[in-house]
Amino acid sequence: MMENNSMIEKNVAQKEVLLEVLKSKINRQLLFYLDICARCAICRDACHQYKVTKDITFLPAYRAELIRRIYKKNISPFGRVFPGLFEGKEVDDEKLLEELGKAAYACTGCRRCMVYCPFSIDTTWVISVAK
Amino acid sequence: MNGFSFFAAGIMVYIAVIVFLVGMAYQIYGWVKIPRSSVRLGIFPRPKNKGVRFFKLLKDSFIFPHSAEVDPWMWIFAIFFHFSLAAVLLAHFRMVREFTPLVNVLGKEGMEKLGAIAGGTMGIILLITILFYIFRRFFSPYKDLSVFEDYFIVFLLIVIIALGDHLRFFAKLSVSDYRAYFQSVLMFRPYFPEAIAAKGARWVLTMHVFFVNLFVMYFPFSKLTHAIGTFAVNSVRSDV
C-alpha cells in the first residue's frame, strides 16, 4: 500500500515536471503553430522520412499534433474545457509518449515541412519541445 | 416568427456576434501577451526590404504557392474553396445594402442575372470543394491525423452551404425579402417579412442562420483562427 502510494506520488511529480517543461517552452510563435494548424497534411510529402516509410508518426502534422494534444488537454483554456474536441491527451499517456519519442528522435530538423506548409508552421520548432 | 425562429434567426444572432467578438479578443490577447521567441525563425532567402517582405507575406497567405508543389490537388480545391467563400461572404452584404453602382451599370434585371449565375456557381463550387474536404479525411493518412474538431467544422460548413444553395436554387425569394429580414436583425427587431413567413423556405433560412451562428460562435476557439493567424505565422517565415 505504502509502495503504491509512493509510486502514484512519483508519477504525479513526473507529470508536473513534464508539464512545467512544456509551459516553459511556450512562446508566441509556438502558440500560433499549436492553435492554427488545419491538419490538411499538405506537409505529407515534405518529410523524406514519411515519404519513404509511410509511418504516420513521421508525418510532420502528426508529429506536431502529439504536442498539440498535450497542449489542448492541459494548457489551452478552451481545450481544457472540451478536450474531446481535440483528442486532448495527458502528458504521461504511454502511447503518446512512445510516439513522441519516435517522432522527436527521428526528426532531422531539415525544416522542409515549414517550406511547404500553407501557414509556414515550423514543425521542427514544435517538436523541439519534445527534444 | 414562431418561438424557434425568433431564437435561432433572432436572439441567437446577437449571442453569436458577442461570443465571436469576446472570444476573438480573448484569443488574440492570449497570443499577444506571450513574448516572441528570442530566436529568429524565418527561412532564407532574406527579403530585400520591408516592401518585398510585405508582398511575400500577402503572397504566402493568399496563394501559398509552395504548397502547390507538393499537393497540387489539395491546393486547387483550397484556392477554389477560400476564394469562393470570400466572394460569397462579400455578396451577402447585398442584404445590408444594394450594390447601387453595380445596379446602375447592369440594370435591375442584369443584377439579378449576375446574382443567379455568380451566386449559383460559387454555391456549387463551395459544395464540391467542401465534399472533397470531407472525403479526403476518410482515407489514410488524413484519417489518422484527423480529430473530432475537423469533422465538426466540415459538417457545419456542409450544412450551411447546402441550405444556402437550397435558398439560392429552390426558395424563389427575392433579395429584397432577405434584406428586409436582415435589416430587421440590424435594427434589433427581428422578424420575417410576409414573403418569407408565408413560405416553407422560412425553415431553410432559419436553419441556415442557426448553423451559421454555431459556426461563428465556435470560430475563435478552433483551428478556424487560421484565417487571422496565417498572417502572423507567414510573417515569421520571412523573419531572417
Q: What is the pLDDT of residues A34-59, one digit of tens each?
A: 999 999 999 999 999 999 999 999 99
Nearest to A46 by CA among A121, A98, A105, A100: A121
Q: Tell me: pLDDT of A82 over 70.
A: yes
**Residues B145, A59: contact at Cβ < 8 Å?**
yes
Report CA-CA distances (Å) from B192 to A104, B164, B199, B207: 57, 17, 10, 14
Instruction: Inform me whether the C-beta atom of residue A46 falls under 8 Å from chain B C-beta atoms.
Output: yes
Which three cell numbers mark A97? 509518449
Distance CA A87, CA A84 (A): 5
Distance CA A34, CA A28 (A): 10
Nearest to A41 by CA among B68, B147, B142, B237: B142
d(CA B89, nearest CA chain A) in Å: 21
> Which residues of chain B make contact with A29, given a CB cutoff of 8 A?
36-37, 41, 233, 236
A101: left (phi over 0), alpha (psi -120 to 50) or beta: alpha
Q: Tell me: pLDDT of A2 over 70.
A: no
d(CA A56, nearest CA chain B) in Å: 7
Q: What is the pLDDT of residues B26-82, one digit of tens each?
A: 999 999 999 999 888 999 888 999 999 999 999 999 999 999 999 999 999 999 999
DSSP states of B24-41 as a string? HHHHHHHHHHSPPPSS--
Are residues A87 and B233, on separate chains, in Cβ contact within 8 Å?
no
Amino acid letter at B200? G
d(CA B221, nearest CA chain A) in Å: 6
pTM metric for this prediction: 0.92
Instruction: Inform me whether the C-beta atom of residue A110 falls under 8 Å from chain B C-beta atoms.
Output: no
Q: Which of B141, B149, B229 sits opposite A41 (nearest CB)?
A: B141
